[in-house]
Every structure is written in C-alpha cells, then in structure tokens.
Chains A and B, each alone.
Chain A
Amino acid sequence: MDLSAINPVLLIASLMVAATPLLLAAIGELVVERAGVLNLGVEGMMIVGAISGFAIAVETGSPWLGFLAAAVGGAVLSLLFVFLTQYALANQVASGLALTLFGLGISSLMGQSYVGLKPPSTGEVHIPLLSDIPVLGPMLFSHDPVLYFGLLLVAVVWAVLKFTRVGLVLRAVGENHDAAHALGYKVVRVRTLAILFGGACAGIGGAYISLIRVPQWTEGMTAGIGWIALALVVFASWKPWRALIGAYLFGGITVLQLNLQAAGLAVPVEYLAMSPYVITIVVLVILSADKSRAPASLGRIFHASS
C-alpha cells in the first residue's frame, strides 16, 4: 500500500465534491421534515434529477439549463408524492417507497439513449485572490458554482427557518398541524411547497452526480445517496449546519475509501465500498438515543375534518 499516492489537497477538494449531492438532497429533505412530512422518495427524486439534468445538458449544451431541468424534474416527481400524501392521504412511508421505485424505473427509461455520452463541462469559478492562496486556494476556492450554491443554500435555509415568518409558519406546521390549522394557516399548501422544494433540491443533487461528479449517466447511479441523505437529516437533528457537517463527514469517508482502494490497501475493494453504508448505520445507532428534536407531527396524516 502506498499512502503517498493520497494527495491531501486533492482529498479535501474531492471530499467537498463528493459531499455536495448529499448536502443538497439532505437540506431539501430537512425542510420537508421540518414541515412535518417524511418523504422517503429522495433516492427516486435524485435519480430523476440526475437523468433530467444530464439529458437537457447534453441536448442544449448548457449545464445550467441541465441543473434547472433537474430541479424541475425532481419537483415534478415530488408532485406525485404531494398528490398521494396531501390529497389522497396515503401513508407517507409507502408513498415515499413508491416514489423511489417509480423514479428508478422512469429514469432508466429516460436514460436509454444517453448511456456513454459525455456532458458539457460546468467549469470552475476561481474566486479572485482566495483561489490564489497556495494549498487552500485549490482546495477550497476553485470549485464549480453549484458546490458554492449548496453552501449558500444551507445558510439561506438556516436563516429562513430561524429568523423569518415563513420559517416560523413552516416549523409550526411541522410541530402541530391541528393548531396551525386552527390559527388559519394552510397546512396542505405549506407542506406542498416544502415537498416541492425538497424535490427540486434532490433533483439538483442528482444532477450534480451525473454532470459534475462522475460525469456521465449510468442506471441507478445514485447508489443509495438519497437514503444516506435521509439518514443525514436524522444525524443533523433537523438543523441545517449540522447537515453540512454530516455531509462533509460522509463525503470524507467516501473519498477516503476510494483513495484507499486506489492506494492498494490490503482490504478487498468490496469491503471498502461497503464502508459508507456501514458507517451510516453506526452513526444512526449512536444518534438514535435522542429523538426529542424531531418535528412532532412528522409523518402524521393531516385531514381538516371539521
């Protein structure tokens, strides 16, 4: 094994890249869950975002239109979840599973003619001055714009939840939908918007994988990242900044195991590839002791019966 093959600058830089899809999906789901809805369809929305973004980017030659399409694709799929859970009052767990199964199917259908293609490049922003700092520059300040968008989104979600009226109403709906209804807030409307936001975020996260991280299209390429994003929301105790820490932690593990594989660690590749999933489980176990932070109405069906 040759550890010197691992370049710490590249490691950190690729850690940030690996963490971004996870972060985008998790921050979207965090908003959904704060509104009291459990959408287990993150994986499905991500993969649909991945293919929508990839297809449009390839067709138009513009990665930006691709990301836009990914957001729309994820949101459209989440609309199905809205219909099932908010209007047809279906069980949220089952509906989320349905979304994932359906999303995996429809994405491979959509992606048939895109296998093996190369998407247009997104390019990098070189933040003036900062990116010129030795070591730190290439590590932190020379990435693609979507990565910075993800970081910005965390800050925005945090500020909105903490300081604004919209955030307060959203939290109120997630805490006690009956009370929110009694005060005259439109529970279903708030939740619908939250779910659409979550869908768009997951879609962008998916497209980040197919357009930037890999970048190409293969069936089922999200490989459980949507599920890890769900675990991440629990890990984060429904707090945006902790989601960021969590995403970078998992991103780090993923990148590290890939680097160890490349460096020829004397452990079979398969066991290294398992490690992100195993570590997710371990983290879930450690954190499951404290459930008190979960929004009180999470997963409950709301029907204004009178």
Chain B
Amino acid sequence: MIRLEKRPQPSRAWSMATPLVAVLATMIFGGALFGILGTNPFAAIRTIFFEPLFGEFSFYYRPQLLVKGAPLVLIAIGLSLGFKAGIWNIGAEGQYIMGALVGAGIGLAFYPMEAWFILPLMVLGGALGGFAWAMIPALLKTRFGTNEILVSLMLVYVAEQFLASMSLGLLKNPDGFGFPGSRNLQEYPSAHNAELIAGTGAHLGVVAALIAVIFAYVLLNRHMLGYQIRLTGEAPRAARFSGVRPTRVILFCLGTSGALAGLAGLFEVSGPSGQVSIDFNAGYGFTAIIVAFLGRLHPVGILLAGGLMALTYIGGEIAQGQLGLPAAAVQVFQGMLLFFLLALDLLTNYRIRLTMGEVA
C-alpha cells in the first residue's frame, strides 16, 4: 500500500528537483505521444530542445529565444506575485491585448511625427492599459467580493473582441487597401521597439523582463510588502492578524501583473509583431501561467522556465516544419509539463511510504 505522510516541513531539495523531474517525465510521455502521432520521438525531442540552441540555424533561433522568452517571463513574474498570495489572475492574455492596444494607439496617434518621447509614452500607455484592465477584477473583488478568476478570464474574451473591433476599425491602416490590421510600427522609427543590439533579439522587453525578475526577487525576499504577499497566500487569517490589509495586497498583485502583461503586449506589438492585427496575440498570457508554476513562483525559477518554454515554442515550430509535427502537439506538450509539475509537487510536502499490508 502507498501511504502519504506529511513532512514536518517542506523539502527544499524536492522543491528544486521537481521542475527538473517534471521536464524529464514530460520528455518521456511527450515523446511517446509524438511516437503515436507517427513522428520519431527521439528526433522530435532533439529538434525541440537541441536544434534551436545548437543546430545548424541556431544563429537565427537563438535571438528568437529572447523574443519569445521575454514576454513569458514578464507576464509570469507578475502572475507569480498574485499566485503566491492566492489571487488568481488568469486573464493576463486580456491585459496583454489591452496594453498593446493602448500603447500602439498612442504611437499611431502621433504618426507620422518623429520625436524621442513617443516610444516612452507608448511604454507608459502599455503598462497603464494592462493595469486598468486588471483593475476591473481587482476593484470588483475588493468592492463586492467577486471571484477574480472568472472576471479576469471573461475579460480576455471581451479584450479579444475589442481587439478585433480596433484592428478592423479605429486603428486600421488607412493605406492598407482595406486589409485588417494597423500600420506597421516597425516602419515608424519613433514608435519602433527595435533590437538594442542588432541580431541578438534583445529589445526593450528583454531588459524589462530582467528588471522585473530582480524587482520581484528583492520584493519577495527583502521587503515587507513581499512578506505580506507570501503571508496572505500561506495563511490568510494570520495575515489579517499580522495587520496586512487584504485590499492592498489584491490591488497591488493584480495591478502589477496587469501592468507587466500590458508592457509585454506593447513590446510585442511595437517590436517583433509590428502591428495590431486580429490575432497578433499568441497565447502568451496563458502559457505564462505554466511558466509561473514551472518556475515554482520564484523569480529566478521563472527566468529559467521562461527560457525553457520559449525553447519548446521555437523547437516546436522547427519540428512542425521539418518533421510535420502538428502545432497543437506542442500545446499538449506544455500542458503535460504543468500536469507533471503539479503532481510531483506532492513530494515537496509529503513523503511517500510503501507499507507491506496492514497488521491488524
């Protein structure tokens, strides 16, 4: 018989090891899945994890890693703050879209003027857009006690419709021959979030992601507010007894995660993607949830997890082209990773004992 026994305190070793074991387990089961789909599992795993880093075209793929990893890390850092406090913002995708729309809207409003302040203004707008969108669930929760999970998620669908309306209407490129989508910001220097060093993929979003990691690390480990966030998640009643104001924590966590998601959206729309179009959002807001958990809600862990997840995106695309692996297979692969992670998390807090029958 298998029995679970609660550890007197969480195991630090398992806490570090579970993500690695989860990745390994996902490789094995994911490989099996690819095998069933008729792709050579070893080739698939190799293509996904090895090709982007060390393959023939790695000079092209490596920068992509930063391009895809930055938004994931930026969003996941924000989400992790809330998750730590037991506040579940799962609408980052919507905040990402709104950030992009507000930021791009500011940029496009100035077109064709060239000025140094346009991009900074857009960045501010991006953060504000995401922040404002996240404030809806935050205020409804603090004011009426409405469930933030459902509200933030519903707002993703609203934001998607809003995006469609904008790219077909207000923000549509007037010189676009009626095609949906805005002007390309890559062709508007004052609004273009260009690579900081050509060929590296490092744009402002990458810098912002790194700053966010450091900021979150300091906040959680050295600052009273970070302690209060952790305490709220660990024991809400003890937090109130300690003097934490729940309203403040909710507003801060949702606000920060919204602003960061909005920033990620703005950096994406003004950089790699270039224009507002119906489907410029690539589901980063949802994948970031996996990144946050895979990184164990720890800033440094999230940095690593963001890199890994970016790898599966890029590797998945390569495998799609070279091996004909369906695009959805990568999505399944990512979902699987989250499963294994949650299941293995058990080992951090419990010991598994095998007992040989019960003596009555």
Chain A positions within 8 Å of B, measured between CB atoms, are: 40, 80, 83-84, 88-91, 93-95, 97-98, 101-106, 108-109, 112, 219, 223-224, 227-228, 230-231, 234, 268, 270-271, 273-274, 277-278, 280-281, 284-285, 288-289, 291, 303, 305
Contact = CB atoms under 8 A, between A and B. Distances in A.
B221 interface: no
B339 A223 contact: no
Given A89-B4, A101-B286, A95 B342 contact: yes
A271 B166 CA distance: 11
Given A112-B328, A285-B140, A303 B6 contact: yes
A270 B145 contact: no
Interface of B: 4, 6, 37, 83, 88, 90, 136, 140, 144-147, 149-151, 153-155, 157-158, 161-162, 164-165, 168-169, 286, 289-290, 293, 326-336, 338-339, 342-346, 349-350
B151 A281 contact: yes
Given A101-B331, A288-B146, 9 more contacts: A84-B339, A84-B342, A90-B343, A93-B149, A98-B335, A102-B338, A105-B328, A227-B150, A230-B150
Chain A, interface SS category: helix
A105 B332 CA distance: 5
Closest 4 CB pairs of A and B: A102-B335, A105-B331, A270-B165, A108-B328
Contacts of A268: 165, 169
Contact of A88 (B165, B331, B343): B343
Nearest to A102: B335
B320 to A, nearest CB: 12
A230 to B, nearest CB: 6
B146 A303 contact: no
Residue among A101, A268, A271 with the highest chain B CB neighbour number at 10 A:
A101
Nearest to A105: B331
A105 B287 CA distance: 12
Contacts of A93: 88, 149
B158 A274 contact: yes
Contacts of B155: 277, 281
Contact of B162 (A102, A219, A274): A274
A234 B147 contact: yes
Contacts of A101: 286, 289-290, 331, 334-335, 338
B154 A280 contact: yes
Contact of A288 (B4, B147, B164, B327): B147
Given A106-B332, A285-B140, A305-B6, A271 B165 contact: yes
B329 A109 contact: yes
B153 A224 contact: yes
A265 B183 CA distance: 29
